[in-house]
Structure 1
Amino acid sequence: MKYILATLTCLSCITSLFAQEYSISGVVKSESDNSTFPGASVVLLSPKDSTTVKGTVTDLDGKFKISDIQKGEYILQANFVGFHAYKQQIAITKDTNLGDILLVENTKVLDAVQISAPAVAAMQKGDTSEFSAKAYKTAPDASSQELIEKLPGIATEDGKLQANGEDIQVILVDGKPFFGGDVKTALQNLPADVVASVQIFDKKSDKAALSGFDDGNQQKTINIITKPSRRVGQFGKSNAGVGTNGTYRAGASVNFFNNDRRVTVTGLSNNINTTRYTADPTNIGDGLDQNGLIKTNNIGINFGDDIGDKLEVNASYQFSHQNREENQQKLRDYTITSDSGQIYDENSYYNRTAWEHRFRGKIEYKHDEQTTFLMRPVISLKHQNRINNFDGKTTSNGAPINETENTAIGNFQDYDYNNSLFFSKKFDKQGRTLTTHLHTGWHTNEDFSGRQAENIYYAEEDSVDLLNQETTRDRSALSWRVQTSYTEPVGKHGMMELEYQIGDKINDSNKLTYELATEEQKVLDTALSNTFQSQYMQQQIEVGYQFNKNKLRLQVEGEYQMTDMRNDQVFPEKFHQSRVFISLLPSARVDYQFNDNQRVQFNYNTWTQEPSIGQLQSVIDNSNPLHIQTGNPDLDQSFHHWARTRFWSNDMETGKSMYASVSTSFATNLIRSATMIATEKTEVADGVEIDNGTRFTRPINVDGYYKIHSYFSYGEPVELLQSNFRVNGGYTFMQNPGVVNEQISNTISSNYRLGFSINSNISERLDFNLSTRSNFRRVENSLRPSIDNRFFYQTTRFKYRWVFGDGFVYRADLKHQLNTGLAEGYDNTSFLLNMSAGKKFLKDDKAEISINVYDLFAQNNNVSRQFSELYVEDRESTVLERYFMLTFTYNIRHFSAGTTEEDFKDI
C-alpha cells in the first residue's frame, strides 16, 4: 500500500510541476532616447509555426505583463508602428522580468538572439487600431486633424470628428489628457509633423480601468503618439491678418515639450466667426460657427507633468469672451388633427455677450504598484448679457390667428463644480481588487430678464394684451454619489464583481415674476412664480461576471436599483410628493475575435433617467405669449433599452478596412411634450388663460419611442490615384411620440445616408480631398397622414493644397450645398469657395504671407430643417459675408540640440 501511495504522490508532484504556469514582464522603450511606448503590442509566438500563444498591449508607462504561460520555448515579439519589430528567443522556466526592450527606428544589426523584421505600417491590437503617420502624407504645416482625417473610418460629420460613425470624445497625447474634452482645440494645437502614430479605440471609464472589470461606459478616443525625438522642444504656429469690411484675426498656438513636462498655450482674437484656434484659416467648418456674426477672444493653457515616479498631473484652463449677433427667420408647420394645420412664422434678432472660464484637471498618484488615487475636478464660471427681440405670427389657411411683438433683455451667472475621486487597491491575488469612487457636484444659476410684449388675438372681437414684466430665477443643485466595487477571480479566465452605489441629487428653483404697473411699482404675479425643490436619492446593488479566454470575451451584469424621488413646493401653494421606483437593469457584452483582422462585438444595456427640475416645476413660462409652457411634478423616471452589434475587418497588409454596426433602442415612460392648441379662451392654470391659437405645452410620460440605426464604412488605397478611397452610409428609423390636443402624435422618420471620399497620399507638396455626402429624409405624422415631408441634403466638398516653385502655395476649399424639399423660400443651392495664395520664406519656409478670400461667390447661407413630435421647422440665420484678408503666418520649430530639421523630416 505504501508503494502505491508513494507512486501517487510522485505522479501528483510531476503533474503539478508540468502544470505550473509563469509570467513574463518588461518595458518597451525607444532605443534612441529611452522614452517608453504606450500601446505597443507584445506577443509570445510558437517557435514551430509562429502562431500566437498569448499577447498583450503595454500600458501608459510602456509596461507589460503576460501571465499563465506554460513552461517551454517561445519567441517574444514587440511591435510599435513606425519602428522595426523586435524578436527574441526565450525559455520560460520561472517568472521572468526582461527589463527594457528597445525598439529601433532604422535598420541596424541586432544581436544574435534577435531576428530582424520589416517595419510595421499599421496594425490591429485587439480593439485598438493603430496607424503610422509616416504612411499618410501631409503638408509640413498641417495640423494633426488634417492627418487624422486621412485615416480609414475617420470622417467629419456636421462639424464633429467621427470614427466609424461615432463622435470622437477624448484626445490623448502619449496617453495623457490634452485640452480636456475639447477635441477640435486639441487637434488644431498639435502639428501633424510631430506625430509618430495614431491609435483609435474605445476608452474605458476610470472605474473600469482601475478595477479591470468593464462597466460598459466607453468613449471613442484618439491617442496621438509623438515621435520620441520630438518630445523636447518648442513648436507651434502663429498668424495675424487684416481684411475688408473691418475683418481681422490674430492667433497663436505654442507647445513647450520637455519629455513628460508639456505646456501648450493658445490664443485667438477675431471677428470672422472662428471660435477656436485653427491651423488653416481657409478650411470651412474647422472652428467656424455658421450661426450669426461672432467676435471671439480666448486663451487656453494645457499643462502636464510626471512629478517623480508616482505623481502625474494634467490640467487645462480656457477663457472665452464672445459676442454673437444674429437675425433668424423660422417657419413651423404644427401637427393638429386636421389637414389645415397651423403655421407659425417668426423673425428674431439676438445679441449675446458671454464670458466663460473653464478648468479641467487630472491628478493621479500611484502609491505603489497596487494602490492608486485619482482625482478629476471640473470647474466652470459663466456670465452672459443678452437682448432678444422677435415678431411671431400664427395663421391657419392664410387667416391670422394671433401675433406678438416681443422685446427682452437679460443676464445670468452660472457656476459649476464637479469632482470625481477614486481609490483603487489591487491585492496580491491577480484579479482581486477594491475600487471606491466618490463624486460630488455643485451648481448655481442666477437669471434675470425684463420683457415687454404686445399680443394680438384675432376672433370675432379682436383683443390686445400688453405685457411688461421682470423675472428672476435662482437655481441651485447639490449632488453626491459613492460607489464601491470588489472583484474576485473565478478560475483562470473568469472574474466576479460585486458593487454597491448610493447617491443623492437635490435641486432648488425659485422663480419670481413681477408685473410692472408703473416704472416704480412692482406687483408679484403668483401665477408665474414658484418655489420648488426636487430630491432624487438612488441606491444600486450590482453583480457581474466576465469571462476572457483566447478570442472570446463575455460579460453579464444584473443591477437592482431603488429610487426615492421627492418633490416639495413651497410657493404659491405648499405640497409634498414622494414616490419610490424599483428597477432591474440587466446588461451584457460579448466580444469575439475571429483572427488578427476580424472581430465582432455585441452590447446590451439598460438605464433609467430622472426628470429635470425644469420639467418638474409647475410654473408658467410666458417668454413667448403664443406658446405657454409649464412643468409637471407627476413625471416618472423613464426606462431605456439599447443594443448594438458591431463588426470590424482590417487588413493591415492591403490597407483595406470595413466596419458595420446595427443598433436599436426603445424607452418606456419617455418624457415628451403634450400640447394643447386652444380654439377658444381657455384656463390652463389658476389665473392663467390662453386665447384662440395659443399653444400650451407641458411634459408627460409616454410609451412608443424606438429607434433603429445602422452604419457602415469601407476603405482601401487606390494605387492608380495614389489616394485612399472611402465609402460610408447608413439608415436610421425613429418613432417619436407626443400628444397634441389629447391625441397621440407619432412622428415617424426615415433617414438614408451615403457618402464617398478620396484622400490623396501623393506628396507633401500636393494634397487634395474630394468628398460628397447625401441625406434623404422622410417624416410622417400619424395625426396628419396626408402630409408627407421629404427633403434631401447633399454636401460636396473639395479641398486642395499645392506647394510649387520656390515656396509658392495655393489653397482652395470649395463646398457645394444642395437643399430641396423645404418650405417655400428655404430651398437653395450654394457654392462656398475659400481660397488663398501665398509665398513661403525665411529659413525652412517657416514664414508665409498670403492673400485669403472667404466666400468668393458671395453665396454663403445657413438653412436647416428640424422636426419634433409637435412640428416641422425650417430656419435661416445670418451668415458671415464675403471678405478678403492679408495674412502673415509663422511656424515655430525649435527642437533639442543635435537634431536638425532634416533629421526631423526623416523620422
Structure 2
Amino acid sequence: MKNLFLLTLLCLLSTSLYAQNPGSPTRFTLQGRAVDTSAAPLPSSTVMLLSPKDSSMVNFTRATDKGAFTFKNLRPGTYLLKISFVGYIPFNQMVKTESNSVIDLGDLKMKPITKELFEVVVKTARAPLTIKGDTIEYNAASFKVPPGSTVEDLLRKLPGVQVDQDGNIRAQGQEVKKVTVDGKSFFGNDPKLATKNLQADAITKVQVYNDKTEQAKLTGVEDGKKEKTVNLELKEEFKKGGFGKITAGVGPASNDIAPRAEIKGNYNKFNSKQQFSLVGLGNNTNQQGISWNDYQDFRGSNSFNWNDNADFGFSSGNRFISFGDDEETLGIPVNGGSGRGFSNNAAGGANYNYDTKKTKLSTSYYYNQTRLELNSLRNRKNFLESGSFRTEENSNQINFNGNHRVSIRFEKQLDSLNTLVFLNNSRLGSGNSNVGTRQDLLRIASLTETLSTRNTTNNLSNTNQFGSANSLIYRLKFKKKGRSFAASATYQINTNDGDLALRARNEFFQATNINDQLRIIRQDQNTNSLRNEYRASLLYIEPFAKKFFWESFYNFSLRYDEVDRNVLNVGEVGGGTRNDSLSRYYKNNYTFNRLGSSIRYSYKGLNLSAGAAGQQFTLDGQYASDQTSRTFNTINRTFTTLIPNVSLNYDMKNNRYLYGGYDVNVRIPSSRDIQPIINNTNPLFINEGNPTLLPQLGHNMNAGFSYFNPASFTNLFVNLYGTYYVNQIVYSQSVDPQTLITTTRPENLQGGKNLGSYMSFGFPLKKTKATLNLNTQLNFGNNPTNINGIRNETNNENYTLGARLELTPTDWLTFYGNASIGRTNTRYSINSGQNQSIVNNTYNGDLTLKLPGGIYANTTMNYRVYQNDRFGFDQRIPIWNASVYRIVGKAKKAEIRLSGVDMLNRNLNVSQYAGQNYVQEERIQTLARYFMLSFTYNMRGVQAKMRRDGGY
C-alpha cells in the first residue's frame, strides 16, 4: 500500500511536470486584459476557461491590478473564456487554437450593469466561480458529479476545498468551522453534519468566506476573530417539503460470528418556520449511537446553537476555570463509527423546531442503548528508579448502558434590542457491567522475569444517573453602536448512584510470610453522589472612542457536592461488616468569583485586546467515615489569582491573516481528587485522593499565520502553541517493593510544559483535477511526576508528517490517498535505559469507479503500522473494504448495495502509548470480516456517494 501510494504520487507529479513543460510544441499561451468601456483596468477580475460542451471548468485565474491575465501551457482546442467582475455583465468569448504559440486577446471591454441591461445579465450564463474579496462563490452546476451524489462529493470537486476520508472540510487551507444553508443554521455548524445528507443536485451555489464570531455579531464590536464558513444555497424546489430514507441490510454468519443485520431510517419535514424529524436505528455492526449525518437531519437548525454560552469574559466564552474531570455530558451521543469489541445497539427519537424571525423553539427526545462485549489483552511495563516490572492483563467484560435524553431551547426576540434565551438539557440513564480480569505482575531483573503477583477479579456493578442543566440568558443591544449588556443564570444538578460487588483473589508468590501469600477481597460498595451548581454572569461593553471599546464582566458560581460511600466486607455466606478505611461521607461547597475588564482597539483589520481579571476560589468541605460520625475533618481553602489576557488578530488583506495571544487558565481539583477516598476497584492499582491539592495554573501562548492565493489556489497555514504549568496536578505513584501494588495519588508539582506547531501547505497539481496537500505536526512535552518519592521527568517528542492526494479527473473516477507517518520518542529521567521510540503509521486509499449500466464500485484500503523496537512490538493491520451498488427505479430513489467489510479478516483494535513511567500496548478483539446486502429507499433520491466506506 505504501509503495502503491508513492508510485501513484510520482506518476502524477511526472505528468504534471510534463504538462507544464513550456518547450512542448503543442502548447500555447493565452493572455489578455480586462477593462471597462473607458479602458480602465478591472483589477482582480475572475477569469475562467470553460469547456464549450458542458461549461465545466478547465482552468481559472485572477487578473492583476492592471487587469492582465495569462494562461500558459494550454492544450490545442476550443475554449469558452469567461470574465466576471462585480457590477459588470459577465464577458464571454470563444477562443480557438491558432498556429501562434501566444494568443493575445488585447483589451476585453466589460459593460457595467444598468437597469436596462438587468434582463441581459439574468439571461447570461452564470460563471462557475466568482471571487469577491475573501468570498469565493461556486456555481454548483459547473462542477459535474454523478447522479445521486451528496454535497460532500460536490465539495471535493471545488478548487481550494479539501474533504478528507472522515468528512472533515478544509477550505483555503483552514478548517471549516461552520456550515449554513441559505444563510441559516438548518443543518448545524459541523461540516460532517451539513454535507452528508443533502443531495448535490439540491444546491445552486456554494459560498466560502470568513465570518464574524457570534459574540461580534451580538455586540457589534469587531473582535478580529474569523470563522471559515461554508454557505449552501438551495434550489427553490428543495426549500420545503419532506425527505427521508430507510436502509435495511443483512449478512450471513461466518467464522463463528453471528449474522450481521442493521436497520435505520429517518424522516424529516420542514418549511420556512417548522421542522419535524424522526430517527431510529438498530444493528449489531458496532454502530454505537446515532451517526453524524442522521443527527444532522434529526436536530435540524438546532444541531448546534452558537452564542449560547452563559459564562462571559474576554470575548471568548472561556471562564478560565475548570473543575477537573467532574463535568458530565448531557447531549446526544454522536459517533457512528465502528467501535471496539462487539456491540448490539438501538436508538430512536423525535425532534421539533419552530423558527421565525422573533421566536425559535427546539425540543427533542432521544433514547439509546448499547450492549458491548470487550475482550482485551494489555501488556504494560513500569519503570522504577532501579529495575522495572511488567503487567500482563486479560480482561473480559459485558457492559449495558441505556439513556433517555430531553432537550429544550427557546429564544425570543422581545424587540429589536432585547433577546431572551432558555436552555435545558437533561438525561436519565442506567447501566450495568460484568468485568472479569486476570493480571500477572512479573518482576524484571537481569534480563529475566519472575512471576511476583497474580490477581483474579470479578466486578459486578449497577449505576443510575440523572443530570439536568438549565440556563436563562438575557441580551440587550443599546441604540448606540457597540454598547451592549448581557446577563445569565444557570442551575445544574447531577446524581450518580452505584453499587459494586467486588470479588478479588490476590496471590503474592514472593511473600516470605505464609499469611501474606493470599488475600481475598469480598466487598459490596455503594456510592450515592449529588452535585448542585448555581452560576451567574454579567457582561457590559462600552465604546469610549471611535476605535476603542471597554469590556467588563463578572462570573459567580456556587457548587455543592455530597457523596456517601459505604463499603462492606462480606463473608462467603452473606452478611457483612463496615470497612471504615474505605467508607467516606463528605460535603464540599465551592464558591467562585471573577471580576475582569479589558480594552479593545479595532481599526482597519487590526484588533488588539488586553485585560485582566481577579478571581477567587473558596473550598469549604468536611468529611468522615460515616455521615453519623460525631467528628468531621474539615478542608477550608481559599485561592486568589490574577488572570491576564492579551490577544492580537490582524487581517492583513490580500487573504493574509495573523493572530496570537496569551492567557492563563485555572484547573480546580475535582471532588474525586481532593477527597481522601481510597478506590480499590483494581486491587493492584489503587487510587486515593489528596485534600491538600492546589489549583493548577497554565500559561498559554499561541500564534499563527494563514495565506491563500485565490489565483493559484495555493494555501499556507502555520500555528505555534505552548503551555507552561504552575502547580501542575499530576498523579504520582508509590509501588510496594514486595507486592508491586501501585498506589496513585494526585499532588502538585512545579513545572511541566507542552510546545508544538502545525503547518499545512496545499496546491493544485492540475486545477480542478488533482490536488496535493502536505502537513507536519510537532509536539514536545515535559511531564513531571513522583515515583516512590523520586521526581521523574518524562519527555515526549512527537513528529508527524502527512500527505493527501486528491484525484478527480473525470466524472466516473475518483481517488483519494493519504499517508500519515508518526514517531514518538520518550525519555525517562529515573531510568534512561528504558528510553524508546514508538511508530504509528497509517496509509489510506479510496477508489470509486462508475461502471457501465449505472453500477458503482468502491474499494478502500487502510493499512496501519504499530512498532516499538525497544520491546519488539510490531503490528501491521490491513483493512480492505469493498462494495458494489446500483441506483434503481425511474425516479432513482432506491439503491441496492453488496458490501464486504474487512475482506482480509484482519481487523483488530490496537493501541500503544508511552506514559509517565510506563509503556502500554493493548489489543482488543473487534468485529472483523462480514458481508451485507442492503436496500435503501430515499424519498428524494438515493445519495450514491463517490467515496463510501461501507454504508451511509
Which residue does the alignment assign to 1:263? 276
1:450-469 pair list within 5 angstroms? 450-459=501-510, 460-461=512-513, 463-469=517-523
Tell me which of 737, 741, 761 is aligned to 1:694: 741
1:31-430 pair list within 5 angstroms? 87=87, 111-112=115-116, 119=127, 121=129, 138-145=145-152, 173-174=181-182, 187-195=195-203, 196-197=205-206, 199=208, 204=213, 209-212=217-220, 226-227=234-235, 229-245=237-253, 246-276=259-289, 287-307=336-356, 309-338=357-386, 340-397=387-444, 398-430=449-481
Q: Which amino acid aligns with 1:545?
A: I
Gaps of 5+ in 2: 1-38, 45-82, 90-110, 254-258, 295-333, 943-952
Which residue does the alignment assign to 1:103? none
In structure 2, do the counterparts of structure 1 residues 880 and 387 end up closer, same or farther at CA, with 3 Å as the change threshold? Answer: same
The question of whether the paired residues in 1 share the 8 Å contact of 2:779 and 2:797 is answered with yes
- The CA distance in 1 between the partners of 2:710 and 2:140, in whole Å, is 14
The question of whether the paired residues in 1 share the 8 Å contact of 2:172 and 2:715 is answered with no
Which residue does the alignment assign to 1:16? none
Deviation at 1:138, TM superposition (A): 4.8
Deviation at 1:525, TM superposition (A): 0.8
- The CA distance in 2 between the partners of 1:208 and 1:532, in whole Å, is 44
- The CA distance in 1 between the partners of 2:753 and 2:138, in whole Å, is 37
Deviation at 1:256, TM superposition (A): 2.0
- The CA distance in 1 between the partners of 2:174 and 2:354, in whole Å, is 30
- The CA distance in 2 between the partners of 1:835 and 1:894, in whole Å, is 23
- The CA distance in 2 between the partners of 1:177 and 1:416, in whole Å, is 27
- The CA distance in 1 between the partners of 2:240 and 2:233, in whole Å, is 14
Q: Name which of structure 1's ranges 468-477 and 714-723 shifts more when overlaid on structure 2.
A: 714-723
Q: Which amino acid aligns with 1:331?
A: N
- The CA distance in 1 between the partners of 2:604 and 2:161, in whole Å, is 27
Deviation at 1:635, TM superposition (A): 0.9
For residue 939 of structure 2, give the secondary structure of its aligned residue in structure 1.
Answer: strand
Q: What does the per-residue CA deviation read over 1:709-733, in whole Å, with 9 as the maximum and x for residues that have no partner?
A: 2111122223278122211121111
Deviation at 1:767, TM superposition (A): 2.3
In structure 2, do the counterparts of structure 1 residues 141 and 815 end up closer, same or farther at CA, with 3 Å as the change threshold? Answer: farther
Tell me which of 667, 670, 681 is aligned to 1:609: 667
Tell me which of 757, 766, 786 is aligned to 2:804: 757
Q: What does the per-residue CA deviation read over 1:176-221, in whole Å, with 9 as the maximum and x for residues that have no partner?
A: 556878875665444454354365768746x665334588999987
Q: Is 1:678 the counterpart of 2:682 in the alignment?
A: no
- The CA distance in 2 between the partners of 1:715 and 1:391, in whole Å, is 50
Which residue does the alignment assign to 2:724? 666
Deviation at 1:520, TM superposition (A): 3.5
In structure 2, do the counterparts of structure 1 residues 700 and 321 end up closer, same or farther at CA, with 3 Å as the change threshold? Answer: same
For residue 843 of structure 1, give the secondary structure of its aligned residue in structure 2.
Answer: coil
Tell me which of 893, 898, 901 is aligned to 1:854: 901
Deviation at 1:131, TM superposition (A): 6.7
- The CA distance in 1 between the partners of 2:791 and 2:917, in whole Å, is 11
Deviation at 1:503, TM superposition (A): 1.3
Tell me which of 658, 676, 684 is aligned to 1:626: 684
Which residue does the alignment assign to 1:434? 485
Gaps of 5+ in 1: 1-46, 53-82, 90-106, 681-691, 896-907
Q: What does the per-residue CA deviation read over 1:814-835, in whole Å, with 9 as the maximum and x for residues that have no partner?
A: 1111111167675222221111
In structure 2, do the counterparts of structure 1 residues 109 and 164 end up closer, same or farther at CA, with 3 Å as the change threshold? Answer: closer
- The CA distance in 2 between the partners of 1:164 and 1:612, in whole Å, is 41
Q: Name which of structure 1's ranges 646-655 and 435-444 shifts more when overlaid on structure 2.
A: 646-655
TM-score, normalised relative to structure 2? 0.76
Q: What does the per-residue CA deviation read over 1:834-883, in whole Å, with 9 as the maximum and x for residues that have no partner?
A: 11112321014322222211111111111111232142111010111111
- The CA distance in 1 between the partners of 2:351 and 2:697, in whole Å, is 39
TM-score, normalised relative to structure 1? 0.80
Q: Which amino acid aligns with 1:715?
A: G
For residue 761 of structure 1, give the secondary structure of its aligned residue in structure 2.
Answer: strand
Aligned residues: 785
Q: Which amino acid aligns with 1:588?
A: V
In structure 2, do the counterparts of structure 1 residues 404 and 158 end up closer, same or farther at CA, with 3 Å as the change threshold? Answer: farther
- The CA distance in 2 between the partners of 1:412 and 1:286, in whole Å, is 23
Deviation at 1:287, TM superposition (A): 2.7
Which residue does the alignment assign to 1:76? none
In structure 2, do the counterparts of structure 1 residues 226 and 303 end up closer, same or farther at CA, with 3 Å as the change threshold? Answer: farther
In structure 2, do the counterparts of structure 1 residues 537 and 646 end up closer, same or farther at CA, with 3 Å as the change threshold? Answer: same
Q: Name which of structure 1's ranges 400-409 and 497-506 shifts more when overlaid on structure 2.
A: 497-506
Q: Is 1:516 the counterpart of 2:570 in the alignment?
A: yes
Q: Which amino acid aligns with 2:695?
A: Q
- The CA distance in 1 between the partners of 2:143 and 2:398, in whole Å, is 44
Deviation at 1:275, TM superposition (A): 2.5
Which residue does the alignment assign to 1:776? 823
Deviation at 1:267, TM superposition (A): 2.2
Q: Name which of structure 1's ranges 323-332 and 230-239 shifts more when overlaid on structure 2.
A: 230-239
Which residue does the alignment assign to 2:858? 811
Q: What does the per-residue CA deviation read over 1:512-532, in whole Å, with 9 as the maximum and x for residues that have no partner?
A: 111112443121111111011
Q: Which amino acid aligns with 1:313?
A: L
Deviation at 1:781, TM superposition (A): 1.2
Q: Name which of structure 1's ranges 486-495 and 757-766 shifts more when overlaid on structure 2.
A: 757-766
In structure 2, do the counterparts of structure 1 residues 885 and 531 end up closer, same or farther at CA, with 3 Å as the change threshold? Answer: same
For residue 940 of structure 2, give the secondary structure of its aligned residue in structure 1.
Answer: strand
Deviation at 1:675, TM superposition (A): 0.7
The question of whether the paired residues in 1 share the 8 Å contact of 2:224 and 2:605 is answered with no
- The CA distance in 1 between the partners of 2:768 and 2:42, in whole Å, is 36
Which residue does the alignment assign to 2:756? 709
- The CA distance in 2 between the partners of 1:798 and 1:735, in whole Å, is 36
Query: Identity percentage over the alignment?
Result: 23
The question of whether the paired residues in 2 share the 8 Å contact of 1:203 and 1:221 is answered with no
Q: What does the per-residue CA deviation read over 1:219-239, in whole Å, with 9 as the maximum and x for residues that have no partner?
A: 987665544542113334322
Q: What does the per-residue CA deviation read over 1:340-394, in whole Å, with 9 as the maximum and x for residues that have no partner?
A: 3111111101111111223344322112221111223222222111111100111
In structure 2, do the counterparts of structure 1 residues 448 and 345 end up closer, same or farther at CA, with 3 Å as the change threshold? Answer: same
Which residue does the alignment assign to 1:9? none
The question of whether the paired residues in 2 share the 8 Å contact of 1:826 and 1:876 is answered with no
Which residue does the alignment assign to 2:556? 502
Instruction: Tell me how large the CA RMSD over aligned residues is.
Output: 3.5
For residue 893 of structure 1, give the secondary structure of its aligned residue in structure 2.
Answer: coil
The question of whether the paired residues in 2 share the 8 Å contact of 1:177 and 1:314 is answered with no
The question of whether the paired residues in 2 share the 8 Å contact of 1:122 and 1:652 is answered with no
In structure 2, do the counterparts of structure 1 residues 182 and 656 end up closer, same or farther at CA, with 3 Å as the change threshold? Answer: closer
Q: Which amino acid aligns with 2:267?
A: V
In structure 2, do the counterparts of structure 1 residues 277 and 584 end up closer, same or farther at CA, with 3 Å as the change threshold? Answer: closer
For residue 615 of structure 1, give the secondary structure of its aligned residue in structure 2.
Answer: helix
The question of whether the paired residues in 1 share the 8 Å contact of 2:408 and 2:425 is answered with yes
Q: Which amino acid aligns with 1:850?
A: R
1:449-848 pair list within 5 angstroms? 449-459=500-510, 460-461=512-513, 463-572=517-626, 574-680=632-738, 692-719=739-766, 722-821=769-868, 826-848=873-895
- The CA distance in 1 between the partners of 2:583 and 2:520, in whole Å, is 19
The question of whether the paired residues in 1 share the 8 Å contact of 2:492 and 2:532 is answered with yes
The question of whether the paired residues in 1 share the 8 Å contact of 2:698 and 2:723 is answered with yes
Deviation at 1:500, TM superposition (A): 1.7
- The CA distance in 2 between the partners of 1:248 and 1:894, in whole Å, is 23
Q: Which amino acid aligns with 1:231?
A: K
- The CA distance in 2 between the partners of 1:731 and 1:645, in whole Å, is 15
